Amino acid sequence: MEQFDTKMVYITGGSSGIGLETAKLLSSLGSDIVLLARNSEKLEIAKNLTEKAKKDTRQKIRTISVDVRDHHDVYDKMQRAVDEFGAPDILINSAGINKYADHFENISHEMFNEVMNVNVNGVRNVTHALLPSMKEKKGHVVILSSAAALFGMFGYTAYATSKAALMGFAESLRYELKPLGMPVTVFFPPEVDTPMNLDEVKTLPKEGRAMKSMGGFLMPDHVAKIIVKAIAKKKYFVIPGYSTRLLYFFHRMSNGFLSRIVSDFIVKRTAQK
C-alpha cells in the first residue's frame, strides 16, 4: 500500500489497543506518525514499538500528551503540532473508555458525563482543531465507534450512547466533507482484546457479558489491518468481523425485531442462571 508512504497520520488513543496496532502497521507502510494520549509513560513505550516497525529510517514518530476532553488543551497542542510536524493526511480518532458498564441506576451523572466527554467530545475536539489544516491536503477523518452503536446492549447505557452519538456525528460530517474531497470512515468493531476490557469487566452485568459474546471477539492487530484497508479504499461504513456483520444484516432486515427477540431471550436465560 504505497499510498501510505510519507503520509502524516495523527492517532488519538495511540498508546495502546487498536490505536497502537494501527500506528505500528502504518509505520511499516512508510507513514510518519503522531501518537496522542494522556499517559506520557505509555506514549513513550508506544513510540518505541512504532519506531521498531518503521519501513524507512527517515520516518518520524512523535508523541503528544493531551487530554482530548479538554478543548483548550487540544486546540493549543494541535496548533503547535501542525506548525511543527505538519497537518495530518489522516486523522484516526481511536481514544475511548468504557469504565462504567453497569446497570443504568448505578451510573451517576459524573460517570455518564466522563464517558461522553472522552468518547464524544474527545472526537469532536481533536477533529475540530485539526480540520482547518487538513482541508488543503483533502485529509481523511477516521472515527472508531462500536458495534454497541448499532444494537445497544444490556449494561451499556453510557458507552452505547456515546458510540451511537459518533455514528450520527460521522454521518453528518461526511455530508459536509464529501464536497471538499475529504473522506470520512467510521468503524463499528465488536469486542476487541484491548486494555479497555480490564475496566469493563469490573462491573459489566452477566446479562451484558452474554449479549456481548454474540458479536465475536477480535484481536487489535486484525482490526488494524481492516482499518488500513478501509482507509486505502476510502470506505465510509465498516463493520469488522463476520459475526457482527451477520447480526447487523438481520437487525436491519427485521427493523431490529430479530435482534431484540434473541437478546431478550439471552438476557432472560442468563438472569435465571
Q: Compute the distance between CA of residue 140 and CA of residue 130 in angstroms, rounded to an integer.
A: 11
Mean pLDDT for 95-114 is 96
- Give the global pTM: 0.96
Helix (H, G, I), strand (E, B) or coil at 36: strand
Cell triple for residue 267? 438476557
The answer to whether the beta carbons of residues 61 and 31 sit under 8 Å apart is no
Backbone CA torsion sign across 6, 29, 14, 230? positive
- The model's pLDDT over 233-271, given as tens digits with 9 standing for 90+, comes to 999 999 999 999 999 999 999 999 999 999 999 999 999
How much is the pLDDT for 198? 83
Q: Give the residue from 88, 113, 111 showing the smallest Cα distance to 101.
A: 111
- The model's pLDDT over 10-54, given as tens digits with 9 standing for 90+, comes to 999 999 999 999 999 999 999 999 999 999 999 999 999 999 999
What is the set of active-site residues?
Answer: 145, 159, 163
Q: Please, what are the domains in the chain?
A: 2-248 (3.40.50.720)
How much is the pLDDT for 195? 87
Q: What percent of the chain has pLDDT over 70?
A: 100
- The model's pLDDT over 154-196, given as tens digits with 9 standing for 90+, comes to 999 999 999 999 999 999 999 999 999 999 999 999 999 998 8
Mean pLDDT for 104-124 is 98
Q: Which residues pair with 186 in a beta bridge?
A: 143, 237
The residue to which cell 495511540 is assigned:
14
- The model's pLDDT over 53-70, given as tens digits with 9 standing for 90+, comes to 999 999 999 999 999 999
Q: Compute the distance between CA of residue 62 and CA of residue 44 in angstroms, rounded to an integer.
A: 9
